[in-house]
Chains A and B, each alone.
Chain A
Amino acid sequence: MANKSYMPAVALLLFSVASSATAALPAKVALQGGRIITGTGGEIAEGTLLIEHGKITAVGKSVDIPYDAMVVDVKGKVLFPGMIAPHSSSGMDRSNENRQVTPYLDVYDSIDPSSMFFEESLRCGVLGIHVIHGDNCLIGGLSRLVHPIGMTPDEMTIQPRVALKISATPAYGRGRMSHRSQLREVFAELEFYLENLAEKLYEDELKKQDKKVDVPPEEARKRGREHINDERIDDEHRNLVKLTEGRLDAWIYIGAATDVAPAVDMARKNGFLDRSVFVIGGDAHRAVDALKEAGRPVVIGEQLTFQRRDPITDKLHETFVPKVIHEAGLQFALQANPEGSLAERMPNYQAARCVRHGIPRAVALKAITVNPANMLGVGDRLGSLEVGKTANVLILSGDPLDFNSWVEKAYVKGILAYDREKDVRLKELLSLPERTAKREKEKKEEEERKKKEAEAKKSKEKDKAADKDAEKDSDEADKKDGEKKNKDAEKKDAKKKPSETEEDKKKPKKKGKKKKNKRAKKQSTEQTPAGEEQ
């Protein structure tokens, strides 16, 4: 794990974000009695998940819970791995620069931790976001995997410098010929640069020994290559060298079917096909055979459906892209669509759409958990609820594919990072008008009080009926009071104690009654439709 030194800082931050009142954070948490969807295809109908020191240490039907673990009852809830957004350019300042070739840039310099996007991600249960450059470039910069909590990009980081962004589809306003030619040029220029560097380094080496170059240039360059290391390469070329030497992943955007083959060729020729992930968009799925042949995992474009209107017949053809990719046997990940509909911003809804079109449930769920984790190189510690993995766990109110399910709680590295009960913004968005709720509550209390009074009165009348003679006069008086009482009860807000005796009620009432009526009347006029709001 890259940033172990920041772990305490993250823990403190999460503590304040969760605004928990507890003095010490529980190092051990047992989520007991819930339905567990592990993310790898298995489901446990009712089980327990044990978190210790930020890691999942046990998952199963019956688990030995340590004596010092905090037990959280999740009966009726669903435990699900924190979802991973595989390709996102939100939460950044600008997703692309004007310059087309920028392998020296890093999204680290652009991430804005205060962006609403991260809060929304947390609320939706996305606990890992691959922040990466947009598609409007030739070669972008370095990407980063973050979780949506933290005050600085460092605190947010799960894995830095994950991949280099490349786009195989020309940016808006640019042509394909120049785009492809430039891509070739970049790698040709890289080689040229390295050759020159090698020759210079060899020269420098000999100078140190007070010797001069005595071999032909080709030989000099060959020998000089051994002296090349990262520190000696300039910023412009360093990441490209890493890429071609297989030390860095490439995430390649392919926005059209015609760009698939050239993209695969480019990756293969320059030695990074084995470390490539293809992010497809537009009609790239029509070249699914070429994608299959390349055998690399695929991230499906946010639109999920591709529509094409036949230019001659005007008939609409609609293709559900994940189905095409799935039927080709390719491993795929799903993106949420931050610019789409309300529902499409949630990755589990995108997965539900896949199930809608016949893709097996397990495959759809993997596409938002395990698969993106593997593609990002963190499959050993994220993406599923398995022993040994980081405790990024969601407690859902229902099945992830049910649109009525909500994220109740989210644990990041075993620490409670989100609690729906304390989500002030969500409460505001979902609350019924408070006054209506308050008034309904008051009505109910009113009715209950009336009931109790009526019952009390009945029981007392029964008692008194037993001694008629002795209490005839007070009986009549009591009846009158009772009628007046009932009238008052309709207008009053004040609560009464049902245990008061009749005599006690008599005296203070007669004085206070009229005043209370007036007050009650005033209150009722204030409550008429003029509106308390204004």
Chain B
Amino acid sequence: MIDLLHCLKTHGGRLSFLTWSMAASLLLTIALPPVSTASAVETASPVVVKAKTIFIGNGQVVQNGAILIQDGRIAKVGRETAVPPKATVIEIEQAEITPGLIDANARVSTIDLVPPSRTRATGVEEPSQDQSKRSDSHVGDDDHEEEHSAASGVFPSDIVNEQGSEVVPHTRVIDGMDLTCVDFQRLVRGGVTTVHASPDSSSVIGPRAAVLHTAGRRGDRVLRKVGAVKATIGIEPSVSGTHNHRGGASIYARRPNSRMGLTWVFRKAFHDAIQRGEGLEPYGADTASPEAGVVLRQVLAGEVPLRIQARLHQDIITALRLAGEFDLDFTLEEATEAYRCIKELKAAEVPVVFGPIYEAPSGFRAVTGEADQSRYSTFAALLNAGIETSLSAGEFREEDGLARQAMYAIRFGASFEDTLKAVTQTPARMLGIDKELGTIEPGKRADLIVWSGRPFAAVSRIVLVMVDGRVVVDRGE
């Protein structure tokens, strides 16, 4: 490194000499990491990870190869990689490597007041009619004690939203996030290294999401402080949230309470934003605030991305219609009934963050009945139609988490390659972080998962997870 600096000083303009001296003085080709003001990746000793199979994430596969990691980034991937001095070598028998998984629509439980459910981040626990749920020391000794304190109007879990108004795109999920919460540990143990932390669906136009690493040094965790604005088309904003659990219309219940009304709020919000932009003062019921208008004008201009969650096919059609009215680009979330309107989605070229895949809806998803008509093959159908699709696990964890969601997707008709892309490269691209993450390519951040066998197979498990080149999960036995 000192040689290089000397060369630069004395031979500044002579590029050819520079490149030659670089090659001569350095033992390995190391891509210079792009200068990033936010991160300060420590100069750790290099790490070499050897594996039977390395899935790059873009369709390429390297057999019996190795990955050289330097300063938290991928330096080299290939069959022949020399091991530099003082390098840590990680070599696990029969290991297969994939990039760290990226969940483009994660519901992260940031307020961990209830003991976490095993396969759910949070979620409304349905009171079970069957009392025979096993637990530690009492039969049925579940989360019953820490039930929803409905009286206070606050549900201890799953509220990642501002209830003051239906239109709050000026608020930010990052401001309500506890980066040390247990759910991040559960995510990273399941191989999910990057999340697009979405707000819940209790607002028509909700806060802006955050894109985060699930583990690693605090300074390197936040990848995007403010991401997409999330909107919800469907009935959920009028049935979830603190004010609506008292049931029925009252002075406490939030207006509006039908799809027509909720869609109107969406329409009015954008209309008001345009009005304010033209110097006019909007009026009428459900007038959105000026600060909301600022963000929505950015959405209209394409500067801020928009996500719309819609489960029923009628809601998907409504979303397409609204987008048409305002010439909006958006990404569709969940899309449970997408199998009924594949054509429309294809024609509108709407990318989809699909998922999760489940047997029967549960938790908050079961409350509205919107998810009752799910099909196993919807994800495969989206891929087959050529629609840009990512897979998400939402609030599911462990045996239902993103790694296993990929396993389900493959069982129900998607190919291994397409599924791997849908949890690595495609979400990276959707989130605008594909220069840093999503594949194992030189220059990118070293987020990897080491599997004990074929990735996503039932007989394989995650042995090691690396974020920014450092081992954050070691589940070796």
Contacts and interface: CB of A to CB of B under 8 A. Distances in A.
Interface stretch (A76-84, A235-243, A423-431): A423-431
Given A95-B132, A303-B134, A431 B408 contact: no
Contact of A172 (B144, B313, B376, B458): B144
A171 B131 contact: yes
A134 interface: yes
Contact of B407 (A89, A173, A318, A343): A343
A267 B471 CA distance: 48
Contact of B341 (A135, A171, A531): A531
A430 B376 contact: yes
Given A169-B138, A533-B340, A436 B381 contact: yes
B136 A282 contact: yes
A65 B89 CA distance: 58
Contacts of A408: none
A429 B133 contact: no
B179 interface: no
A345 B400 CA distance: 12
Contacts of A340: 118-119, 399-400
Interface string A290-328: 000000000001110101000000001010000000000
Interface stretch (A144-152, A225-233, A351-359): A351-359
Interface string A490-534: 000000000000000000000000000000000000001101010
Interface stretch (B155-163, B208-216, B342-350): B342-350
Contacts of B140: 135-136, 171-172
A135 B400 CA distance: 25
B364 interface: no
Interface stretch (A185-193, A397-405, A453-461): A397-405
Nearest to A355: B459
B375 A136 contact: no
B141 interface: yes
Q: Is the contact region of chain A dominated by helix, strand, or loop, or is it mixed?
A: loop
Interface string A248-259: 000001011010
Size bracket of the A interface? 35 or more
B196 to A, nearest CB: 22
A243 to B, nearest CB: 21
B139 A136 contact: yes
B379 to A, nearest CB: 11
Majority SS at the chain B contact face: loop
A318 B460 CA distance: 17
Contact of A256 (B137, B381, B477): B137
A255 B138 contact: yes
Contacts of A402: 457-459
Interface residues of B, number: 56
Contacts of A355: 459
Given A171-B131, A531-B344, A342 B458 contact: no
Given A255-B139, A302-B134, A432-B384, A342 B359 contact: yes
A433 interface: yes
A429 B137 contact: no
B347 A529 contact: yes
A279 B377 CA distance: 36
Given A96-B132, A172-B144, A343-B458, A432 B137 contact: no
28 contacts: A96-B132, A134-B130, A136-B139, A170-B139, A172-B131, A172-B139, A255-B138, A256-B136, A256-B137, A283-B136, A301-B134, A339-B133, A341-B119, A341-B396, A341-B399, A342-B359, A343-B404, A352-B458, A352-B459, A353-B458, A401-B458, A402-B459, A403-B407, A404-B410, A428-B375, A430-B412, A433-B342, A436-B384
Interface of B: 118-119, 129-141, 144, 185, 313, 317, 339-344, 347-348, 357-359, 375-377, 380-381, 384-385, 396, 398-400, 404, 407-408, 410-413, 452, 457-461, 475, 477
